[in-house]
Amino acid sequence: MEREVERIVREIKSLKIQGARNVARSAIEALIIQIQKSKAKTKPELYSELLEVGDALAGSRPTEPMMRNAISDAVRFTLMQIKTHPALDVNVLKRAIVKEAVSYFDEMEANQKRICDYGSKLVPDGGVVLTHCHSSTVTGIMKRAKDVGKEFSVIALETRTRFQGRTTDKELADYGIKTSLAVDGAVNIMMKKADMCMVGADAITSMGDLINKVGTSTVAHIARSQDVSFYSAAELYKYDPLTLFGNREQIEEREASEVWEGAPRSVKVRNPAFDATAARYINGYLTEIGMIPPQSLWSIATQRLGLQIAGI
C-alpha cells in the first residue's frame, strides 16, 4: 500500500478528515493514488491491491456507508471490466478505473447541488433553522437559501466533544447568514425559537433510521415534542444496504480523553460518536431526487444505486 494511501487511512481514522462526503472523497482519492502508482503486472494483482486498500479504508471508520458504497462501486466496476473484457491490458484497466473514480466526484457535486436547490425551498423566509454538528450539505442549503434572497437565522448546537457547531456557525457567518451558538444542553430552550430542524447524515438504515452525530436523536425527540419538523439532508449513497440483512450500524466509541482528560481511574467515561434516530421522528430525507419518506428510502436507494440484493 502506498504511503500516501496509508496517511489518508490514518487521517480518516483519527478524524483529521471528517464528514461523510469528505471521507468518501478522500477514500476515492486514495484508490486513485494506489491505482496510478500500482506496479501490478496482471489484472488479478491489480484487483487484489484494490481490495486491500478498500478493506483498509472501510475499516478506518465503521459508520461511513457513503465511503463503503463508493469503494464497492469501484470494486464492482473493476470486476465487471475483468469479466467482460478478458483481453483488456492492465494499464488500460488502470486508466478505466481512474476515469470511473473521477466521474464519482462529478456525481457527488451534482448531487450536492440538487440537494441544495431542493433544500433551499424548505428554509422558512424570516424563520429560524436549528441544526446539530456540521454538515457541508446543510450549510450548502443555507447558503443557497440566502442566494435566492431569503432572510433567516440559524441556531447551531455546539456539538461536543469536537465542537463542530462552531465550524457551522463560522462558515455561515462568513457567508453573511445570521447565526447563534448554543450549548447542547439548551436544545429544549432553543427549540422554542426554531421553525424547523435540519441535520446531515452519516448513515441511513433499511428501516429509515438515521445514524448521525451523538445528540441528534435528542434533537429529534424534542423537535417532535414541540411540533417542529425534523429533516435530514443526505445523498442516497449514505444508505447502508448491509442493514437490510440484519447488520447493525456500529456506534463508534471515541477516546475518553476527549470528554475528560486525566479522569480518575475509577470513573468510566463514555464517548459515543453517533446515535440512532428512529424513522418515526424524521419528517423526511432530503435527497438528490427530492424529499423521501424514511420508510421508502431503502427501496428507492436500492434501485437508484443499482445494488444487487443477492450479493451487495
Report, as residue numbers or ranges, the catalytic residues. 133, 202
Q: Classify strands 203-204 and 210-213 as parallel, antiparallel or unpaired.
A: antiparallel
Euclidean distance between CA atoms 290 and 81, whole angstroms:
32
Euclidean distance between CA atoms 251 and 232, whole angstroms:
19
Q: Which phi and psi angles does 53 have, rounded to 5°?
A: -65, -40
Structural contact between residues 236 and 290, judged by C-beta atoms closer than 8 angstroms: no
Q: Omega into 277 within 30° of 0, i.e. cis?
A: no
SS3 assignment for the chain: CCHHHHHHHHHHHCCCCCCHHHHHHHHHHHHHHHHHHCCCCCHHHHHHHHHHHHHHHHHHCCCCHHHHHHHHHHHHHHHHHHHHCCCCCHHHHHHHHHHHHHHHHHHHHHHHHHHHHHHHHHCCCCCEEEEECCCHHHHHHHHHHHHCCCCCEEEEECCCCCCHHHHHHHHHHHCCCEEEEECHHHHHHHHCCCCEEEECCCEECCCCCEEEECCHHHHHHHHHHCCCEEEEECCHHHECHHHHHCCCCCCCECCHHHCCCCCCCCCCCCCECEEEECHHHCCEEEECCEEECHHHHHHHHHHHHCCCCCCC
Task: Please give the torsion angle defined by the CA atoms of residues 168, 171, 177 and 181, in that order, rounded to the nearest 10 degrees.
Answer: 40
